[in-house]
Amino acid sequence: MLTRALVVWCAILAVAFVNGAVRELWLLARAGMMAGQILSSVLLCLAILAVSAMAAAWMAIPSAADAWKVGGLWLALTVGFEFGAGHFVFGQPWHALLEDYQGVGAFIRVPMLLTTVVAPFVAAWLRGAIHVPA
């Protein structure tokens, strides 16, 4: 299950790259900086949920506890990638990377991170593998 969850996270990473390219090349010029960033964030959250839902049966997450483990794994991978690639590949100083999670940046990044954590649970629930008590 965790190996498959890692493969799905790689797919989500690819979708995030496409989202970023669309944002930078098209969306910001048409919607403006703030609206473009917000719309891009919403679209990425929806894409994360869609990829998770499409891969739910293949991941075969058997329980709520396992879904939260996968969500935690995806969160750690996402934050690790953002900081690791941001610093070591793109040369951003640590303080600049941390600033992305403050102020307006937090308004944009935090929903994406929360979606990343809950997406495996939502996907397993939609698949019927997890039953939420009423």
* Number of helical H runs and strand E runs in the chain: 6, 0
**DSSP per position, 85-134:** IIIIIT---HHHHHHTTSTHHHHHHHHHHHHHHHHHHHHHHHHTSS----
The pLDDT-based confidence of 103 (bands split at 50, 70, 90) is: confident
pLDDT, mean of residues 47-64: 95
- 105 compared with 82, residue with greater pLDDT: 82
Cβ neighbours around 19 below 10 Å, total = 20
Domain boundaries defined on the chain: 2-126
Predicted structure pTM score: 0.90
Please answer whether residues 44 and 38 qualify as being in contact, where contact means their C-beta atoms are separated by less than 8 angstroms: no
pLDDT, mean of residues 22-44: 92
